[in-house]
A = this chain, B = another copy of it.
C-alpha cells in the first residue's frame, strides 16, 4: 500500500506522521531527520525482541552510535524509577544535546521516552515509532508525555512535540488482541465527540479492523490523527477544547487507579469510561437511550468491557468520586466530565453528584 502522510501544524513547530506498511525499518523514513553522533532507542522487553534490531540497523546507516535501552513492559512501570533508566542510558553513553531519542513501542514507552527527551539537558530531539494501535491513534499527536505518581496517573510530564512519527501498520500484526481492542477504544472515541460519519464507518468496518486489514487500519489511524490534530492545533495546552479528547477518561482514570494501574489496559478503562460518560450524557438529557445503546454495542463489539468494575464494597460511587477528584480537569475541587450530544459535539462540565452516583450504580457490575 502507499504511504500516507499527515502534517501536524502547531505554532512554531510542525511535523509529519507517516502511515503505511514497511516503514519502521526503512532508511527513507528517517532521511529528513537532523544529523547527530548518537541516537538512543527506547523500547520495552516485549517489543525489543520483535523490532529493536531492525530499527537499529535502519538507523545505523545514518548515525554512528545507535544505543538501545529496554524498559520493563507495563503501565505499572511508568514511574520515575523506569524513567531514570533512560537518563542513565543517555548519560552513560555520553549522549549530548543533539542526540535523538526514538520511542519504539506503545503509549507507555512513548510517554516515558518523550518526557525523558523533554527533560534531558532540558530538551533533545524526539521521534516516535508507535507499535500499538493506541499509540498510533492517540499518543502520536498532541505532545503529551509523562509518568504516573502513586497518587495519580500522568501527573508529572511535559508537552513536547516529536520531530516525526512513523506509524507502521505491520507492527500491529504482532499486537495481542486485547491491545488491539484497547486501541479501538480511542478510535471509536473520535466518532461521538467529532464525526458521526466516522462513527458509522467504524461500525461498518469493525470486523476488518479486528482482522487487522491494513487498508482499514490505515483509514482508522489517519482519520483519528486528523481529528486529534484539528483539536490540538486549536488548543495545544488543553486550556479548553482539547479537553474533549478526554471523553471517557475521567471515569476511565478512576477505574485504572481504583483497580491498580496495569490491571485493565488504558484503552479498556477508556472504553468502559465512555459507556459511563454516555450514560451521564443521557441523564443530563443530551442524548437518547438508543444512541447510548448504539455506541455501547460498538464498544462491546470491539472487544472492550462495558460493565464498570466495583471499586469498593462499602460505597462504590463514593470511591469513584474520590478517585475522580484528582483528575487534571478538576477545578477548585469540582469534578468535570466530558459529555456529548447527538450531533457529535462534546462539552466539558460539572455534573450533580447525585446524578453521577446514579450513573456509577447503573453501570457497575453488581457482585
Contact = CB atoms under 8 A, between A and B. Distances in A.
A325 interface: yes
Interface in A68-127: 80, 84, 87-88, 91-92, 94, 96-98, 118-123
Contacts of A118: 158
A149 interface: yes
A158 B330 CA distance: 25
B326 A119 contact: no
Contacts of A152: 91
A88 B80 CA distance: 13
Given A80-B84, A87-B149, A158 B158 contact: yes
Nearest to A331: B96
A299 to B, nearest CB: 28
A94 B123 CA distance: 29
Interface in A148-170: 149, 151-152, 155-159
A332 B39 CA distance: 12
A119 B158 contact: yes
Nearest to A239: B97
Contact of A91 (B37, B98, B149, B237): B149
A331 B80 contact: no
Contacts of A144: 122
A328 B121 contact: yes
A88 B84 CA distance: 19
A352 interface: no
A191 interface: no
A333 interface: yes
A271 interface: no
With a 10 A CB-CB cut-off, give which of A119, A144, A158 has the most chain B CB atoms: A119
Contacts of A326: 91, 94
Interface residues of A, number: 36
A144 B119 CA distance: 11
A335 to B, nearest CB: 11
B333 A37 contact: yes
Interface string A322-341: 00011010111100000000
Given A84-B80, A332-B96, A155 B123 contact: no
A11 to B, nearest CB: 8
A325 to B, nearest CB: 7
A317 interface: no
A77 to B, nearest CB: 16
A146 B84 CA distance: 14
A87 B155 contact: yes
Interface of A: 37, 80, 84, 87-88, 91-92, 94, 96-98, 118-123, 144, 146, 149, 151-152, 155-159, 237-238, 325-326, 328, 330-333
Closest 10 interchain pairs by CB? A91-B151, A37-B332, A119-B156, A121-B328, A122-B157, A122-B159, A96-B330, A87-B149, A96-B331, A80-B80
Given A92-B151, A94-B326, 13 more contacts: A37-B331, A88-B151, A91-B149, A96-B328, A96-B332, A96-B333, A97-B328, A97-B331, A98-B332, A121-B155, A122-B144, A122-B146, A122-B159
